[in-house]
Amino acid sequence: MQWDIFCKVIDNYGDLGVSWRLSRELAARCQRVRLWVDDASALQWMAPLGCAGVEVRAWTQPLALQGVAAGEVLVEAFGCEIAPEFIAINAYKQRAGGNKVAWINLEYLSAELYVERSHGLSSPVLRGPGTGLTKHFFYPGFTPRTGGLLREPHLLQRQAGFDRTEWLRQHGIEWRPKEQLVSLFCYEPGALHQLLDQFAHQPAPTRLLVTPGRASDAVQSAMEKKNRLQPLWNKRGMLSISYLPALDQIDFDHLLWSCDLNFVRGEDSLVRALWAGRPLVWQIYPQHDDAHHGKLEALLDAIQAPASLRRFHRTWNGVDQSPLEPLALPAWGEAIQAARAQLLQQRDLVSQLLEFVDSVRT
C-alpha cells in the first residue's frame, strides 16, 4: 500500500525520530511510504543513507501536489493535522469509488489508563475537505490492549551480535575496562549538578557519554560553574566526560547497548532504552500544567519501577526537590529487564498497525 505520513517537527529528535522509524519499518515490510515533513534537516544525521521505499517530501504551504496520487493510508503523526488539500484528494478518491482510505491519527506514547480506552476509536468526518472519511486513533502503549511499541523483527539478534569494545574503539571513545559507561541524552535537568557529584565521589570510575545539543550545553555549563566555584570537586578524577557527535539512529541504539546506565528523554529514546535492557532514567518533556507528572508516574507503574528508581525519577524531572537518590543499578537493571521481557511478549506496533489498517479498509 501507499502510505502518506505527515510530521510537523516540534523536537527534531522526537516527532521526526518516531516518524522515520515508522517509515523505515513499513518499507522493510514491503510498503511504500511518502514522509511529508516541514523540516527534514535532522534526517541528514539521523538517517544519512535514507531508506529504500521511503520518499521524503517537503510539507510546504500550499502542498506541492503535482503528479501526486492519493494513496491508501493517511497517517498524521501526533495530531499534526494533515494538509487539507491532501485530505481533499483522498476524500475525492474514496467518493469516486476508489479503494477505501484509512486515516490514522498516531498518538503520543503514554502508559496512562485512557490509552486502552481510546485505542482504535473512530471519528467520522462530517464537514470540511475530508467529508466522508473516518479518522481512527491509534495509540502506542505498554499493554496488549494498546498498539504496542515500535520494534524491528530482528532487534534481539542484532543486540546479541553487538561488540561493545569494537564499537567504542571505532568511535574514538577511550574506555578503561573497569570504567562505568553512562549515556546522557537530556534537556536541562535541575539535578544535573548532583548527578555529576555522585559520579565524582563513587568508588569506581565513570565515563559520561554526552549527546550533542541541549545535553552537551547543559553539562558544559554545569562543569564551568563547578570548576569555578569548587575547583577540587573531581580531584580524584573518577568522572571523565566524552562529548559525542550526532549519531544516526542505528548508532544511537549502539550507544545505548554499550552503556551500563542510560539517561534518555522524550518518546523515541525511551523505547530504544527499554529494548536495550540496561538501567534507564527518563526525562519526560515538561508541560506547563504539570500534566507530565502523571505521565511519568504511569510509566513508572508500567515498568514496576522499584522505590529508589521512582524517587530518582521524581527528582530528575523536578517533580520534587528531594536530594538525588543514590544510583542502585542492580535493582534498576532487574526491573528494566523484567519490563523488557514482558513487552517482548506483545506484538510490535507496525504489525498491529498493518492489521488495523487492513480491518479499516475492508
pLDDT tens column, 95-108: 888 779 999 999 99
* Residue 35: CB atoms within 10 Å: 27
- Output 322-327 pairs: Cβ under 8 A, ≥24 positions apart: 323/194, 324/191, 324/194, 324/195, 324/198, 326/198, 327/198, 327/202, 327/261
Per-residue confidence (pLDDT) for residue 361, from 0 to 100: 93
Is 161 in the same domain as 252? yes
Per-residue confidence (pLDDT) for residue 258, from 0 to 100: 98
Instruction: Please identify which residue in the block is written with the cell numbers 542492580.
Output: 330
Is 64 in the same domain as 130? yes
Is 113 in the same domain as 170? no
Is 182 in the same domain as 120? no
Is 261 in the same domain as 167? yes
| Closest-CA residue to 187 (of 226, 233, 221, 156) | 221
- The kind and range of the H/E element at 225 are helix 214-229
Is 47 in the same domain as 9? yes
CATH number, domain with residue 36: 3.40.50
Tens of pLDDT, residue by residue over 283-317, are 998 888 888 899 999 999 999 999 999 999 999 99
How crowded is the C-beta side of 120, counted as CA atoms within 13 Å? 17
Per-residue confidence (pLDDT) for residue 260, from 0 to 100: 98
Single out the catalytic residue among 4, 15, 112, 268. Answer: 15
Per-residue confidence (pLDDT) for residue 13, from 0 to 100: 80
Is 170 in the same domain as 118? no
Give the domain range for residue 313.
155-344
- Residue ranges in the chain modelled with pLDDT below 70: 12
Catalytic residue check, 116: no
**Grid coordinates standing for 114?**
485512557
Single out the catalytic residue among 76, 253, 267, 268. Answer: 267
CA distance 147 to 129: 28
CA distance 38 to 86: 15
CA angle 147, 184, 250 (to 5 degrees): 55
Catalytic residue check, 15: yes
Is 236 in the same domain as 270? yes
Is 138 in the same domain as 205? no
- Predicted structure pTM score: 0.96
CA distance 54 to 28: 10
CA distance 117 to 131: 26
Is 320 in the same domain as 223? yes
Tens of pLDDT, residue by residue over 1-57, are 999 999 999 876 889 999 999 999 999 999 999 999 999 999 999 999 999 999 999
Is 324 in the same domain as 234? yes
Is 282 in the same domain as 221? yes
Per-residue confidence (pLDDT) for residue 160, from 0 to 100: 96
Counting the structural domains of the chain, the total is 2
Per-residue confidence (pLDDT) for residue 291, from 0 to 100: 82
Phi/psi region, residue 138 (left: phi>0; alpha: psi -120 to 50; beta: rest), is beta
Per-residue confidence (pLDDT) for residue 343, from 0 to 100: 98
CATH number, domain with residue 177: 3.40.50.2000
Whether 215 contacts 186, CB under 8 Å: yes
